[in-house]
Amino acid sequence: MLAFVSSLHANLPVKMMMEYPQYRMLEGTNSLYAIEGPRHAVEFQPLGSTEWLIHAHFASDYPRFLWLQELLQEAAQSKVISKEQFYERVRARTVRESFSKLGRFNARAAFETLTLESNVELQPLTTFGVASIAHHHVLACSDDHVRQAIVAAEQNDWELLILGGGSNVLMHSDWKGMTLQQGIKGIEVLKDDGNCLEVAVGAGESWHDWVLYAVEKGWNGLENLALIPGSVGASPMQNIGAYGVEVKDRFLWLEAVNRKTGELHRFDHAACEFGYRESVFKQKEKNLWVIVRVAFALERNAPLHMEYGAIQSELQDLQSQEITHKDISEAVMRIRRSKLPDPAELGNAGSFFKNPILDARSFQQVLSGHPKVVHYPLEHNTFKLAAGWLIEQAGWKGKRLGNCGVHEKQALVLVNYGDATGQEIWELAMAIIQDVRAKFGVELQPEVNQIRVS
């Protein structure tokens, strides 16, 4: 890694004003509040003479929302204090260890300087393994780190690129702005009634590791999504899915930091506007938020999803009443490993193209010319075509062009044989798109994000 490390604050001659966090003290009680948004606050409540008891609040109903507004408006003995005054008071006591560490306020790390690195190689941080350098790079391990990085990028006029697991990007060139690697970790059970659980997970956790952890704990519902590369924070952005299950099926909410105001905001299921490999974060809210944690609704007695023939074939030696959620996760991993290359050995980003979805008229036009086209009926009289089948029938499966090619076992996967540039891989993708359009009249869309010069 060609990195030069410096203090981030050294490059910030003028402070960019963000609306949040705001700091308050409740006169007469010595309670402190770090207000992160209109519905989010962290309360530091004195416990005895030497400790703080900390509560993270989300104003889910009107009374709690009104209470937070009163704090913001300096009503009911609420008094504005500076960040320096806030932490000076916080440091006067110790903090109970039980407080959640999912990226929220951590008093012991107050004023921790975010490390800025220069000229960082992105090749090991992306699964395609394309040579590329970020002129500026930070690893953000908390909400406050995210805000510091946003301020630095704004003040230095650096375009900001968010990196999760680096599994859904193709770098076409060096990145002249700043890359923010999501490093917020942690898994926390918020509710558990014996069957149903609400579990919050830091955006920087590995998606696959999180799925395996949940399966081992008996928190079921995500097992069909095992071995998908990437981070937890990226999973709702494109509504990842496999073998009959999508993230939206188990999604409860996510929290994200606004890139203009610093506000921490909670998006529920409806607000995310999930679609096929789509969400509001890839459309009208694109580049406006940094996702910091995601919550899932899981069940100990969740139904098994075994509709796909490949899963049934893997489990054919087991009696149906014997099959467990762990069996399904292991079957999915065997299937994926048999068809998909390991990015550690052969650079790739998984499925490069989306499966096209057609209306009834367009589908009939394709079907009339190609009766064997692999397809799946969807709601609203639409049809999903298998992009891999289209690419394979067009003759691209296993084809190599220079340093890149189409994987020999899965036509949806483009691979880097070692020295391919992002531009070379993109030219291959464009050739496939043009050929499929000419032969089938179907327009393929890339699922992988194309990252060009900032």
CATH number where 369 lies: 3.90.78.10
Q: DSSP class of residue 247?
A: G
Tens-place pLDDT, residues 305-363: 998 888 999 998 888 888 999 999 999 999 999 989 999 899 999 999 999 999 999 99
- Chosen domain end from 295, 313, 338: 338
Measured in residues, the chain has a length of: 454
The pLDDT, as a whole number, for residue 320 is 80
Sheet holding 160-163, edge to edge: 4-7, 115-121, 133-140, 175-182, 160-163
CATH of the domain at 143: 3.30.43.10
Considering the domain architecture, whether residues 143 and 215 belong to the same structural domain is answered as no
- Is 437 annotated as catalytic? no
Question: Are the C-beta atoms of residues 138 and 149 closer than 8 Å to each other?
Answer: yes
pLDDT tens digits, 388-413 = 999 999 999 999 999 999 999 999 99
406 in Cβ contact with 415 (< 8 Å): yes
- Co-location of 297 and 394 in the same domain: no
Catalytic option among 250, 277, 293, 336: 277
Mark whether 212 and 313 lie in a shared domain: yes
Q: Are residues 162 and 210 in the same domain?
A: no
* Cα 209 off chain centre by: 14
Q: Does the N-terminal peptide bond of residue 21 adopt cis geometry, omega within 30 degrees of 0?
A: yes
pLDDT band at 114 (very low <50, low <70, confident <90, very high): confident
Based on the fold, state whether residues 146 and 241 are members of the same structural domain: no
> What CATH number should be reported for the domain holding residue 274?
3.30.465.10
Instruction: Examine the fold and report which residue of 148, 183, 218 is the final residue of a domain before the chain moves on.
Output: 183
Cα–Cα distance for residue pair 55/43, rounded to 1 Å: 5
How large is the average pLDDT for residues 247-258?
98
- Catalytic residue, chosen from 31, 132, 167, 351, is 351
Residue-level pLDDT at 16 = 60
Residues 129 and 16 in one domain: yes
Together in a domain, 130 and 15 = yes
Write out the residue range of the structural domain in which residue 214 sits: 187-338
Q: Are residues 221 and 77 in the same domain?
A: no
Q: What is the pLDDT of residue 107?
A: 60
Q: Answer whether residue 423 shows pLDDT above 60.
A: yes
Q: Which of 224, 210, 208, 199 is nearest to 326 (CA)?
A: 224
Mean pLDDT of 129-151: 94
In this prediction, residue 284 carries a pLDDT of 92
Q: Are residues 298 and 429 in the same domain?
A: no
DSSP at 112: P
Of 428, 430, 425, the residue nearest 444 (C-alpha): 430
Position of tokens 């003290």? 25
- Looking at 131, 149, 183, which one is the last position of a domain? 183
Phi, psi of 379 (to 5 degrees): -75, 165
Pairing type for strands 289-299 and 251-258 reads: antiparallel
Has 231 been annotated as catalytic?
no
Any catalytic annotation for residue 277? yes
Overall average pLDDT of the 240-263 stretch: 96
- Is 136 within 8 Å of 117 (Cβ atoms)? yes
Q: Are 325 and 303 in contact (CB under 8 A)?
A: no
Same domain assignment for residues 356 and 241? no
Kindly state whether residues 234 and 174 are assigned to the same domain.
no
Looking at the structure, tell me whether residues 254 and 330 fall in a common domain.
yes
How many structural domains comprise the chain? Answer: 3
